[in-house]
């Protein structure tokens, strides 16, 4: 059985992507959660991962003697291993666009990710209001998301970016969570897409796991001193 090493569900947006993908697609896997204690070289987190991933980071997918440690590579591996799950769009042009927007998530939206850290159980609407006021780069990232999602939904007819659930939706699920946490303003059709993503069984299962952790990682909490 596949093994997926992940970090805290409340904080680890990168872990969320392959976990939601596998869960939503109905692909069996064993979850191995490695708590964020520190990212120092002598931390328990690094000690646990040193023989799993050469980067010492999560997520990491293990299949027998193979380890895959990048989210895009994990997604591609899973799509090839389980072609019957149709994790990319069937149409070649749509598939190329889906790969493009997934790669854009992988490398872009740095302002949004920097200023609006993943924090599922928190309500940071008051923080989001200040971030929105003070950071034009965050507003630009959200505008790009709204433009992209709107165009894809118009083209596909929804409910997901390419009609049915694909890797692209899994990749943007943590962004949807961030927009909810920080109550960032988006147009109504985009908010409706976010609501549909957050209602996916794979996403709701992740959120429930995050809420159950009852953990507080100080270095992942720039805006709070306690839960």
Q: Does the pLDDT value for residue 140 go beyond 90? A: yes
At residue 40, the pLDDT reads: 87
- How many other CB atoms are there within 10 angstroms of residue 224's CB atom? 13
pTM over 0.95: yes
Please calculate the CA angle 193-17-34 and round it to the nearest 5 degrees. Answer: 140
CA pair distance 227, 3, nearest whole angstrom: 30
Distances (CA, A) of 11 to 133, 167, 219: 24, 20, 11
At residue 227, the pLDDT reads: 85
At residue 41, the pLDDT reads: 86
Could you report the per-residue pLDDT of 78-133, keeping only the tens digit for each? 999 999 999 999 999 999 999 999 999 989 999 999 999 999 999 999 999 999 99
Let me know if 1 is exposed, middle or buried by CB neighbors in 10 A (0-12, 13-18, 19+): exposed
Q: Which residues have C-beta within 8 Å of that of residue 1, sequence separation ≥ 6?
A: 28, 29, 30
Is omega for the bond preceding 72 within 30 degrees of 0, making it cis? no
Q: What is the DSSP letter of 160?
A: B
């Amino acid at each position: 059985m596949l093994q997926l090493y992940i970090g805290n569900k409340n904080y680890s947006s990168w872990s969320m992507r392959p976990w939601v993908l596998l869960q939503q697609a109905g692909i069996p896997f064993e979850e191995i959660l490695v708590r964020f204690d520190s990212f120092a070289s002598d931390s328990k987190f690094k000690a646990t991962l040193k023989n799993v991933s050469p980067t010492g980071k999560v997520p990491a997918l293990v299949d027998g003697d193979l380890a895959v440690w990048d989210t895009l590579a994990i997604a591609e591996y899973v799509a090839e291993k389980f072609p019957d799950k149709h994790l990319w769009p069937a149409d070649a042009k749509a598939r190329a666009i889906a790969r493009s927007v997934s790669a854009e998530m992988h490398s872009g939206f740095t302002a949004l990710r920097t200023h609006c850290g993943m924090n599922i159980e928190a309500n940071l609407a008051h923080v989001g209001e200040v971030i929105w006021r003070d950071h034009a780069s965050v507003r630009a990232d959200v505008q790009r998301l709204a433009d992209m999602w709107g165009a894809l939904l118009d083209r596909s007819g929804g409910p997901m970016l390419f009609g049915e659930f694909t890797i692209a939706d899994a990749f943007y699920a943590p962004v949807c969570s961030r927009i909810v946490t920080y109550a960032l303003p988006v147009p109504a059709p985009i908010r409706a897409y976010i609501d549909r993503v957050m209602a996916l069984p794979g996403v709701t299962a992740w959120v429930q796991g995050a809420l159950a952790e009852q953990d507080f990682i100080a270095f992942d909490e720039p805006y709070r001193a306690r839960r």
